[in-house]
């Protein structure tokens, strides 16, 4: 997915969260959006994925040389964040199967293959509501990284993860295929140290 932002801005009431943000994000060049808590990183990702409208400017999406309409972008993206909820009544196996009905997994992975990659095989029949916050975050990341998507948005990807979980994230995010556009919102360098470009959201405060 080729992502292009031109003059993008978002405001709430009279306060501009960011303004006049222009950038080009082609596939295969991971991009990090940095800034302190509350600076607008999450808002930017939510605007990019269509969860909220921009106040000004344009967003263009391209795939294989053809434009993608904003209303259809959801088919091509995944989004993982610690504040997004999972269906807690499901077991892990049920959740992965349910997710797979809407987005196929990369490399033709089966639901069990994905559970194994999550290193949560022993918890496959455990209800999500009984998972620790770290286990839930790993599930969110796994679904985002291993679903067929060409735009992957990660917000604070290692939140709630211990050292082992953070190492798991770094290993698996490095396995994304080259046709993926990856955006990471973070203020932790260890989460985005491999990114080729870093954008500070504070540069777009007006």
Structure tokens at 136: 């839930």
Q: What is the rounded CA–CA span in Å between residue 160 and residue 166?
A: 9
Q: What is the rounded CA–CA span in Å between residue 134 and residue 164?
A: 10
* Backbone φ and ψ of 14, nearest 5°: -105, 5
Structure confidence at residue 117 (pLDDT): 98
User: Which structural domain range is residue 115 located in?
Assistant: 2-204
Number of domains in the chain: 1
Tell me the pLDDT of the chain (206 aa) as tens digits. 999 999 999 999 999 999 999 999 999 999 999 999 999 999 999 999 999 999 999 999 999 889 999 999 999 999 999 999 999 999 999 999 999 999 999 999 999 999 999 999 999 999 999 999 999 999 999 999 999 999 999 999 999 999 999 999 999 999 999 999 999 999 999 999 999 899 999 999 87
| 144: CATH | 3.40.50.300
Polymer length of the chain? 206
Q: What is the rounded CA–CA span in Å between residue 181 and residue 165?
A: 23
Crossing angle of helices 133-146/92-100, nearest 10°? 20
134 contacts 141 by C-beta, under 8 angstroms: no
Q: What is the rounded CA–CA span in Å between residue 54 and residue 8?
A: 7
Query: CB under 8 Å to 87, separation ≥6 — which residues?
Result: 95, 98, 128
């Amino acid at each position: 997915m080729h992502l292009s932002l031109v003059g993008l801005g978002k405001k709430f009431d009279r306060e501009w969260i960011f303004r006049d943000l222009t950038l080009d994000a082609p596939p295969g060049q991971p991009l990090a959006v940095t800034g302190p808590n509350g600076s607008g990183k999450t808002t930017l990702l939510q605007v990019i994925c269509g969860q909220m409208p921009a106040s000004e400017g344009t967003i263009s999406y391209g795939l294989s040389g053809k434009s993608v309409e904003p209303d259809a972008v959801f088919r091509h993206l995944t989004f993982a964040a610690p504040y997004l909820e999972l269906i807690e009544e499901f077991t892990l196996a049920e959740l992965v199967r349910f997710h797979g009905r809407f987005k196929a997994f990369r490399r033709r992975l089966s639901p069990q293959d994905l559970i194994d990659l999550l290193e949560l095989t022993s918890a496959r029949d455990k209800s999500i509501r009984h998972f620790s916050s770290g286990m839930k975050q790993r599930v969110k990341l796994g679904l985002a990284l291993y679903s067929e998507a060409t735009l992957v948005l990660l917000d604070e990807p290692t939140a709630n993860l211990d050292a082992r979980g953070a190492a798991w994230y770094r290993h698996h995010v490095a396995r994304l295929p080259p046709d993926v556009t990856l955006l990471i919102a973070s203020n932790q360098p260890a989460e985005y140290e491999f990114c080729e470009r870093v954008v500070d959201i504070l540069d777009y405060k007006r």
